[in-house]
Homo-oligomer: A and B are copies of this chain.
């Protein structure tokens, strides 16, 4: 990380304007404090887009790599050797705390569940169980890292959808039908998933993660009214439970433009925005006092550099127009890095974000 301009433990803190240079820019932006430049990281920055990742991972379930702390730590660090990113994100998977339920991750498919959730008795298979290998990975990383480490968990709807559908889904028909038809069982399910996520995130924070993100990736499949009634209380339970720990709490969903205000209302400090909602529009939906993260279309990284640069500048301009650049914007993609992304594009992108937002 010789090329990392963010933190150098040996250097004295220099005051730039009002910026507290002892605070990592990513955390400052999450808290709405002044930053020396807009911080940036990329969802799925570790992963299949990196040749060194493909070389190390080999075939088999992602869970094999997650269960090996030395390997998981190495995979977490790989993107930091390429990109000037302002945060590392733990190499793990949202289904890891659910493995007692019999959840695996099939290469090329995603989470698969042998015996999907159907009835109250299935709650017995969903218990809060510590995941020592994740804690160990966090410990290994916090010794190495010069930027904040982001831990994460799945959101209640997203996790529930995998358990009920038995895997990825287009329309979430089984999940929604359970939610509508058996609201008590549903509430018990998402309540249990909230406990599991909270316990996992607490363990991650205690071991050293500096911020957490809740991937409510598929929540946008619900109408806002349904999300508020059937899921938001569980999301709030996770966020409330984390509050005493004092780490920034990010909530992100894709296609969740109509849920941004619900995420903020539930207690998110930072709301992740996919590329469909312009940041100034997102600002109007979440109100003041919440930071925004995003929101470049990840597909733009496949286009020529001039196109990518133009799209990135568009995001930065929207952020400035929304005054979210004043400490309240973390640059990111609007969804994960696509597997066929050229890493050099992301390296240039991180540099562009830093250079063009630097406060002189």
Closest to A310 in B: B180
Q: What is the interface of chain A, defined by CB distance below 8 A to chain B?
A: 171-173, 176-177, 180-181, 220, 222-226, 255, 257-258, 275-278, 281, 297-300, 302-304, 307, 311, 314, 338, 340
Q: Which of B173, B180, B303 contacts A176 (CB 8 A)?
A: B303
* Shortest beta-carbon contacts, A-B, top 8: A180-B307, A180-B303, A176-B299, A223-B275, A258-B276, A173-B299, A177-B303, A177-B302
Closest to A175 in B: B299
* A173 and B338 within 8 A (CB): yes
19 contacts between A and B (CB under 8 A): A171-B338, A173-B299, A173-B302, A176-B297, A176-B302, A177-B302, A177-B303, A180-B303, A181-B304, A220-B255, A220-B276, A223-B276, A225-B314, A226-B297, A257-B257, A257-B258, A257-B276, A258-B277, A258-B278
How far is the CB of A205 from the nearest CB of chain B, in Å?
Answer: 33
* A278 and B181 within 8 A (CB): no
* Known contacts A276-B258, A277-B258, A338-B171: A180-B300 contact under CB 8 Å: yes
Give Cα A304–Cα B181 distance, bound, in whole angstroms: 7
Closest to A296 in B: B223
How far is the CB of A183 from the nearest CB of chain B, in Å?
Answer: 9
Give Cα A224–Cα B295 distance, bound, in whole angstroms: 13
How far is the CB of A318 from the nearest CB of chain B, in Å?
Answer: 8
* B177 and A299 within 8 A (CB): yes
Give Cα A171–Cα B298 distance, bound, in whole angstroms: 9
